[in-house]
């Protein structure tokens, strides 16, 4: 393909900004437009559910670039503007003001939108957490020292619960699955996450759903649960997962099945790429289609897209990495964690909360997970990169019964 | 090239160690990055730039003359 001369990037969080920065660092000298629907300059999201929520950091601390660095990108920055449509025939992005921007190469990096619950979000005291504004609003409400309920025990819900406990608040976590973070880690490790939260004073209501939000005077006062219990709560965090932000692409003709469908090189159509949480692509390393909502993937995928856009045309085949920090637990994971994987302890012991476990699937090591073992898990990552035979990790003690457990849908 | 590392921002992902093992290491207990060489030789500059670009905590700053 010929080198583009007019690149438009829709989405100005990590993936969008990193695409722009990488294009310039590779010597791209053409036109560059970065469109983002938030009014803020680009910022880093992981601290939103951690240091920003507890008030340890002010929000200036999480800017991805200074204003001077953004100026140096020599890009047209359209922040606080939403893309409303895409015309791939005329090669134009339609904007909320009714105007449009032409491109010859397009990068879609619009991320995800948090799921909401019916008949809940009109109430004061009910929060979602995705953006900086969401985090600042939630922090302000937490500082009123409410009784907190967290609905959803995935990454975000568990981190929000930990932050609220760190602030000394009364916290209940509710999830229809039997243990928190089950979908991410499987039953055995998820059980340890549940114990961690109980040890830190969270009231766990797992295996329970919410049937109704209770309110008085337009403010939430509690939740009615599927087991019939009524829970008092004057602040509720709804953290039940997120969906790819593809509403603006409905008429585009692009494949939109769980995100923007791309090939192994992250290309959705000629001259159109996707990166970050919104992108579904074929990861050749694992021989599987993936869509990841992980911080590092947003960076790595954006870098790959920038290179491919300038002509590399190489598959993006990373070993995914993610982490979560809750209380004193730092959990880091490389690879994938299928429902029917086997587990083996490679380092330490589960009971003392310093360990690395490997996840085996179809005779190969497909994932390693470290709990307060950062150096060890980084070394053992190589087993995933090498697709090591499961039989080669002899000498480690496989967990009895060894099924990781069924994954629940969504969340 | 002058490298600075903000350990307070570090999220212990170890990506800098993967990218530039001669310039970065990790503490044993919590995995927070350690800077081994704040003035790396020119042969390492490419690796160090990759480390800074990939760092998910924005903990690595480079001053290039």
CATH classification of the domain holding A394:
3.30.390.30
Q: Do B30 and A330 touch (CB under 8 A)?
A: yes
> In chain A, what residues touch B17 (CB-CB under 8 Å)?
378
State the best of A378, A381, A385 to mutate against chain B, taking most chain B CBs within 10 Å: A378
pLDDT tens readout for residues A184-207: 888 889 999 999 999 999 999 999
Distance, in Å, from the CA atom of A91 to the CA atom of A304, rounded to the nearest integer, reads: 22
Distance, in Å, from the CA atom of A11 to the CA atom of A38, rounded to the nearest integer, reads: 9
How many CA atoms lie within 13 Å of A257's alpha carbon, on the beta-carbon side? 8
Are A222 and A255 within one domain?
no
Are A150 and A255 within one domain?
no
> In chain A, what residues touch B30 (CB-CB under 8 Å)?
330, 372, 374
Contact B13, B59 (CB under 8 A): no
Phi-psi map region of A134: left, alpha, beta (phi>0 left; psi -120 to 50 alpha): alpha
Are A278 and A230 within one domain?
no
**Within a domain: residue A187?**
yes
> Per-residue pLDDT for A398 more than 70?
no
pLDDT tens readout for residues A311-349: 999 999 999 999 999 999 999 999 999 878 999 999 999
User: Edge-to-edge, what's the strand order for the sheet holding A279-283?
Assistant: A260-261, A279-283, A288-290
Chain B residue with minimal CA distance to A371? Answer: B30
Are A225 and A247 within one domain?
no
CA distance B31 to chain A (A): 5
Q: What is the pTM of this model?
A: 0.94
Are A99 and A247 within one domain?
yes
**Within a domain: residue A408?**
no
Residue A2 CB neighbours (<10 A): 7
CA distance A378 to chain B (A): 7
Determine phi and psi for A331, rounding to 5 degrees. Answer: -110, 125
**Within a domain: residue A314?**
no
> In chain B, what residues touch A330 (CB-CB under 8 Å)?
12, 30-31
List the structure tokens of A399. Answer: 């967990």
DSSP A44: -
Are A150 and A216 within one domain?
yes
Cβ-Cβ pairs closer than 8 A, A with B, add up to 52
Q: Which domain holds residue A384?
A: 328-398
> Per-residue pLDDT for A404 more than 70?
no
Are A147 and A75 within one domain?
no
CA angle at residue A313 from A309 to A316, to 5 degrees?
95
Please count the structural domains in chain A: 3
**Within a domain: residue A250?**
yes
Are A152 and A234 within one domain?
yes
Determine phi and psi for A301, rounding to 5 degrees. Answer: -70, -40
Chain A residue with minimal CA distance to B55? Answer: A296
**CATH number reported for the structural domain that contains residue A92 in this entry:** 3.50.50.60
H/E element, A215: strand A210-216
Which of B13, B49, B54 is opposite residue A323, by nearest beta carbon?
A: B13
pLDDT tens readout for residues A231-244: 999 999 999 999 99
> Per-residue pLDDT for A395 more than 70?
no
**Within a domain: residue A320?**
no
Which CATH topology does B2-55 take? Alpha-Beta Plaits (3.30.70)
Distance, in Å, from the CA atom of A176 to the CA atom of A180, rounded to the nearest integer, reads: 9
ipTM of the complex as predicted: 0.94
Distance, in Å, from the CA atom of A206 to the CA atom of A38, rounded to the nearest integer, reads: 34
Chain B residue with minimal CA distance to A354? Answer: B29
Distance, in Å, from the CA atom of A150 to the CA atom of A240, rounded to the nearest integer, reads: 10
Are A200 and A234 within one domain?
yes
């Amino acid at each position: 393909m010929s080198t583009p001369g007019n690149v438009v990037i829709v989405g100005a969080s990590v993936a969008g900004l990193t695409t722009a920065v990488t294009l310039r660092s590779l010597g791209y000298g053409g036109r560059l437009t970065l469109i983002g629907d938030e009014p803020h300059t680009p910022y880093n999201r992981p601290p939103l559910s951690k240091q920003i929520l507890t008030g340890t950091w002010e929000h200036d601390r999480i800017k991805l670039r200074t204003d001077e660095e953004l100026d140096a990108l020599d890009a047209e920055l359209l922040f606080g503007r939403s893309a409303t449509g895409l015309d791939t025939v005329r090669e134009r992005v339609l904007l909320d003001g009714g105007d449009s921007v032409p491109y010859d190469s397009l990068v879609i990096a619009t991320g995800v939108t948090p799921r909401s619950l019916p008949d809940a979000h009109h109430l004061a005291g009910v929060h979602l957490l995705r953006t900086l504004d969401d985090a600042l609003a939630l922090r302000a409400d937490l500082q009123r020292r409410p009784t907190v309920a967290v609905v959803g025990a995935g990454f975000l819900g568990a981190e929000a619960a930990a932050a609220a406990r760190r602030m000394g608040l009364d916290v209940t976590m509710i999830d229809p699955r039997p243990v928190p973070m089950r979908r991410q880690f499987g039953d055995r490790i998820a059980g340890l996450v549940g114990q961690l939260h109980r040890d830190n004073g969270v009231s766990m209501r797992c295996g329970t759903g919410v049937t109704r939000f209770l309110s008085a005077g337009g403010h939430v006062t509690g939740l009615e649960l599927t087991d019939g219990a009524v829970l008092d709560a004057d602040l509720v965090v709804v953290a039940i997962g997120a969906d790819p932000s593809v509403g603006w692409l409905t008429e585009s003709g692009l494949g939109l099945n769980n995100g923007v469908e791309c090939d192994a090189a992250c290309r959705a159509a000629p001259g159109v790429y996707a990166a970050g949480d919104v992108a579904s692509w074929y990861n050749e390393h694992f021989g599987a289609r993936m869509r990841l909502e992980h911080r590092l993937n947003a960076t790595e995928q954006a870098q790959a897209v920038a290179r491919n856009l300038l002509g590399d045309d190489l598959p993006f085949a990373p070993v995914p990495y993610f982490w979560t920090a809750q209380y004193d637990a730092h959990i880091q994971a490389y690879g994938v964690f299928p429902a029917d994987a086997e587990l083996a302890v490679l380092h330490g012991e589960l009971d003392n909360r310093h360990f690395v476990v490997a996840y085996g699937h179809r005779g190969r090591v497909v994932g390693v997970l470290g709990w307060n073992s950062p150096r060890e898990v980084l070394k053992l990552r190589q087993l995933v990169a090498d697709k090591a035979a499961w039989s080669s990790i002899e000498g480690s003690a496989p967990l009895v019964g060894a099924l990781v457990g069924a994954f629940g849908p969504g969340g | 090239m002058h490298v600075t590392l903000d350990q307070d921002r570090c999220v212990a992902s170890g990506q800098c160690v993967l990218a530039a093992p001669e310039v970065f290491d990790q503490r044993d207990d919590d995995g927070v990055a350690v800077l081994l060489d704040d003035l790396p030789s020119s042969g390492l500059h490419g690796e160090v730039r990759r480390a800074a670009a990939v760092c998910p905590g924005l903990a690595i700053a480079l001053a290039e003359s």
